[in-house]
Amino acid sequence: MLKILMSDIGRLFERLSSVGTLYLPIEGGGQTAFAPWRAGADVQLDRVNTDLSVKGLFFPQTEDIAFFKREGKKISVLPSSDPDEPFAVFGVRACDVRGLEVLDKVFLDDPAHMDTFYKGRRENGALIALACSSPAETCFCGAFGVDLAEPSGDVAAWIVDNTLYWEAKTQRGERLTEAVRPVMAEQSGTSAVDASKKAARDALAAAPLASLKDSLSAWGANDMLTLFSSPLWANLSMSCVGCGTCTYVCPTCQCYDVQDFDTGHGVTRFRCWDSCMYSDFTLMASGNPRKTQLERFRQRFMHKLVYFPEKYGGMFSCTGCGRCLSKCPVSMNIAKVIKAVGGVENG
């Protein structure tokens, strides 16, 4: 394990940026999101969670996938190249690391239909995960088995008493460690980090949503038809305005649309995030298969809590990051759904 004083953290960032583009939680435009680091940037390592997750660095909100060039009557197809630039992301919380593990299932699990754009970024992006010292009131990652004090990633880091501790977890993490070793010192013991881990876990156990795990026993692939047919969906969905905010801040939502843009001398084909909460989502010539807000609302939560674990060995498509709790304009979120349909009175 290595360590560095927080007052010298800029030296660590400089070493990491020499390996490739370095992304950090940076304040800008009224929100904190992962952005390229520059000297003097307003880095927010004390934020429990960024407003937008790290998902956008591996699965961008918009990206070009092909180009169609027109020359007279001749049309040439020019595929977009797979990403191959190395980069590192510092400050990823445990819930967002789990979010990428969920996306790995979707984009990489089937070799015959692997998403090469996502694969390229995952292979070139190093994760330096930062443990939480205490959770926010909206956090419930523990309900899904996420350990906020021991994040997975290529490197795990902890900030304790104005000191950052660093521990490599993978071969890629070892390579990063060699790159930063000149500006860091060796740490012989782990007592300070161990104490921080215990304090963080104790704080999560006492958090307002700590009991949410009890309601999850009713979810999963246990009784799909009963959950789907619950009369509670009508009341729960009534307040939803279908704005899609929850899907855009979610670290695991992966729905996208493919569109073509006429440039005047050809066509650019791109994909962009979409939302199951929109009335035109999956719109076909015959219409939309989910015509009501109730059906769309139910689809979102059934997918995260029933369909996904049914397909992927019990893994839920929620990480308990709490972003949908803090961002929903009408305070209707997955925690309330879990409690209500799970048979526990709303808190």
Confidence tier at 283 by pLDDT (50, 70, 90): confident
The Cβ of residue 162 has, within 10 Å, a number of other Cβ atoms equal to 8
Would the pLDDT of 81 be above 70? yes
Parse the chain into domains and list their residue ranges: 2-341
The predicted pLDDT at position 347 comes to: 39
The mean pLDDT value for 291-319 works out to: 93
Average pLDDT, the chain: 91
The predicted pLDDT at position 86 comes to: 94
* CA 79 to chain CA centroid, nearest Å: 27
The mean pLDDT value for 22-38 works out to: 93
Going by C-beta distance under 8 Å and a sequence separation of 6 or more, which residues neighbour residue 236?
297, 332, 336, 337, 340, 341
**In a 3-state reduction of DSSP, which class is residue 211?**
coil
Q: Virtual CA dihedral for 254, 249, 146, 236, nearest 10 degrees?
A: -90
The predicted pLDDT at position 103 comes to: 97
Confidence tier at 345 by pLDDT (50, 70, 90): very low
Confidence tier at 21 by pLDDT (50, 70, 90): very high
Render pLDDT for 265-278 as a digit per residue (tens, 0 to 9): 789 999 999 988 88
Burial of 31 (0-12, 13-18, 19+ CB in 10 A): exposed
The mean pLDDT value for 189-215 works out to: 92
Say how far apart CA 134 and CA 196 lie, in whole Å.
9
List Cα–Cα distances, 108 to 119, 324, 326, in angstroms: 7, 26, 30
Locate 10 and state its tokens.
Answer: 């800029």
Say how far apart CA 344 and CA 347 lie, in whole Å.
9
**φ, ψ at 171 (rounded to 5°):** -65, -40
Identify the CA nearest to 141 among candidates 48, 220, 210, 50. 210
The predicted pLDDT at position 91 comes to: 96
The predicted pLDDT at position 106 comes to: 95
The predicted pLDDT at position 235 comes to: 92
Residue tagged 């789907």 (tokens): 228
Where do the H-state alpha helices sit in the chain? 9-17, 55-58, 94-108, 116-124, 171-180, 191-205, 212-215, 224-228, 232-237, 245-249, 293-302, 308-311, 323-327, 334-341
The predicted pLDDT at position 73 comes to: 79
Say how far apart CA 69 and CA 56 lie, in whole Å.
28
Render pLDDT for 214-251 as a digit per residue (tens, 0 to 9): 888 888 767 888 899 999 999 999 999 889 899 999 99
Confidence tier at 9 by pLDDT (50, 70, 90): very high
| Residue pair 172/89 in contact by the 8 Å Cβ criterion | no
Sign (positive or negative) of CA dihedral 203, 321, 316, 117: negative
Lowest mean pLDDT among 69-78, 155-164, 223-232, 321-330: 69-78
Residue tagged 């970024």 (tokens): 121
The predicted pLDDT at position 222 comes to: 72
HSE-CB for 83 with a 13 A CA cutoff: 20
The predicted pLDDT at position 346 comes to: 39
Q: Which of 286 and 35 is assigned the larger pLDDT?
A: 35
Say how far apart CA 20 and CA 179 lie, in whole Å.
11
Residue tagged 């307002």 (tokens): 208
Say how far apart CA 42 and CA 44 lie, in whole Å.
6
Render pLDDT for 307-331 as a digit per residue (tens, 0 to 9): 999 999 999 999 999 999 999 999 9
**In a 3-state reduction of DSSP, which class is residue 41?**
coil
Confidence tier at 344 by pLDDT (50, 70, 90): very low
Locate 317 and state its tokens.
Answer: 């498509």
Would the pLDDT of 343 be above 80? no
The predicted pLDDT at position 186 comes to: 92
